[in-house]
Structure 1
Amino acid sequence: MADLDLTELAAKAADGDRDALEVLCRETQHLVYRLSLRFYSSRPDAEDVTQDIMVKVITNLGSFEGRAKFTTWVYTIASRHLLASKRKLVEDSVAGAEPFGKWLDANLGGSEPEVGSDIEYRELCSEIRLGCTHGMLLCLTRDHRIAYLLGDLVGFSAVEAADVLEITPATFRQRLARARRTMRSVIENRCGLLVETNPCRCEIQIRPSISAGILDPNNLAFTKHPGVDTPVTVDSLRRATGQLDKATAIAEIFLAQPDYADPDKISGPAPTYLPLEDGVQSRLGAGDSARQEVCAALSRLLVLCPGPALACLAPLSVLLTDVLLQDP
């Protein structure tokens, strides 16, 4: 959906239009989830943080003035939340670019796995490719990771990304350049997707990944991810080998990933994302009836309020969110 349409929906939702709110959530939750998944490389962590970010988006709709694109505004909220969030265990699973590259090199003498069918073989290769690209992102520091995601994958200019991250364009360009150098150090002389004569192939990393517990053939976290409607084509990967610029070529490999959808929202009815009922109340515990009632009441109030009132209530809702999430 075009940003102009999203801006109109945001205005209607801020004025209390429940239908507009549902459509707006449906259109934005997936881009928030995809950014979160690439940032954490963990589906459970991405799902949790998507809920938190969507709560912030909805409770701050009254403050959206339309001076920037709506998606840029959403990416701003999401990026700042991700950077401020508590560090996840998965982020410490990759020690850095050099250890990651050495682990890949140690497996180059391996053999291809024995699988039951061509389909299974292709799925395992796809899982390795997707898992490896996510692993490379974890080689980056948080500041460099979000810069790489916004600059090379989302496609923001230095000025746009700098505004999102509240830094100068020069600082953003420095972070992006350092992120690209780190990515290049891992992939440039290894990955056969980037250069066909490079030694590393997805198929030879399957056995070592299974042995190390990184890959579970019965639970393909990325290839079997809910919401992946279309497979990645060979042509989309071959575009990478045709790029003379290494940074662009590496980005092409990442852009060849599927358009993951928020898995909690694709099989059921359209999401409502009541500001606190869905985002916070589900995290309070079934026995906490008093706090749940407060959440439900405030949720209904925020949805029904006109724009100016919603803008005034948004800080209150965030404060109550923080209080309600604290242990009694």
Structure 2
Amino acid sequence: MVEPGLIKAAQAGDRDAMITLLREIETQVYRTAYYILGNEQDAMDAAQEALIRIYTKIGSYEEKAKFKTWIGRIVTNICIDKFRRNKPAVSIEEHDLVFHEKTNVEDEVMAVYAAKDIREAIDKLPEHHRTVVVLRYLQDFSYNEIAESLNLPLNTVKSYLFRARQQLQTLLHDYQKGGVRG
């Protein structure tokens, strides 16, 4: 969590505070871009663009929104624009999905296959469903934070997540039959 004093100092033009602020958020910015875009190069480009936009727009940040949400909105909008231009597939790596209590090699192998199937299922979601899934389950945004980040009504976010979970359930139904079909 970024200290409010650091944000205020950056807004007041303190160059060192701005550099510290950008360093503190760069991992979050990149991670969000990567999960949405699924491509390292595109994510790096989007993160760089987001950090520049945050740098130039820091004066417009108002405390009525959480800083995390404000950043999320900037990154998500850049990624959605990039996604629409390039139409890349989101790729969530197996190591991004953590499985605990593996007791033997068979369990570890099954966990890799499960992660692959989950990744493939998420890849098949429509863009707007994929985005809310990434923000909710991989970036741990609350429903309200997603709504603010995407500039959507709260009920729309809930609806998107509900439909995305239904789609994932349907896609993953084939998991025990050897993988996601589609």
Q: TM-score range by the shorter chain?
A: 0.7 to 0.9
> Which residue identity is paired with 1:59?
T
* Counterparts in 2 of 1:89 and 1:156: CA distance versus 1, 3 Å: closer
Contact conserved, 1:40 with 1:138, CA < 8 A, in 2? no
Relative contact order higher in (CA < 8 Å, ≥ 6 apart):
1
1:147 aligns with 2:144: no
| Aligned residue number for residue 46 of structure 1 | 43
Can you list the C-alpha shifts for 1:227-280, whole angstroms capped at 9, x where unaligned?
xxxxxxxxxxxxxxxxxxxxxxxxxxxxxxxxxxxxxxxxxxxxxxxxxxxxxx
SS of the residue corresponding to residue 80 of structure 1 reads helix
The counterpart of 2:165, out of the listed 167, 180, 200, is 180
Structure 1 residue 131: deviation in Å? 5.5
> In 2, Cα distance between the equivalents of 1:35 and 1:135?
18
| Aligned residue number for residue 167 of structure 1 | 152
Can you list the C-alpha shifts for 1:52-71, whole angstroms capped at 9, x where unaligned?
11111111000112222211
* Counterparts in 2 of 1:138 and 1:53: CA distance versus 1, 3 Å: same
The counterpart of 1:27, out of the listed 24, 27, 40, is 24
Contact conserved, 2:30 with 2:44, CA < 8 A, in 1? yes
- Structure 1 stretches lacking a partner, 5+ long: 94-117, 191-197, 202-328
Q: What RMSD over aligned residues (CA atoms) do the two structures have, in Å? A: 2.8
| Aligned residue number for residue 85 of structure 2 | 87
Larger Rg belongs to: 1
> Which residue identity is paired with 2:77?
R
Structure 1 residue 89: deviation in Å? 4.9
- 5 Å-filtered alignment, 1:295-306, equals none
4+ residue runs of structure 1 moved beyond 4 angstroms?
128-133
1:16 aligns with 2:13: yes
Identity of aligned residues (%): 27
TM-score if structure 1 supplies the norm length? 0.44
> Which residue identity is paired with 2:44?
E
SS of the residue corresponding to residue 37 of structure 1 reads helix
Structure 1 residue 30: deviation in Å? 0.9
Paired positions, count = 162
> Which residue identity is paired with 1:185?
T
SS of the residue corresponding to residue 74 of structure 2 reads helix
Contact conserved, 1:41 with 1:135, CA < 8 A, in 2? no
Structure 1 residue 22: deviation in Å? 1.7
- 5 Å-filtered alignment, 1:201-220, equals none
1:63 aligns with 2:48: no
Structure 1 residue 158: deviation in Å? 2.7
SS of the residue corresponding to residue 91 of structure 1 reads coil
> In 1, Cα distance between the equivalents of 2:90 and 2:135?
22
Contact conserved, 1:32 with 1:50, CA < 8 A, in 2? yes
TM-score if structure 2 supplies the norm length? 0.75
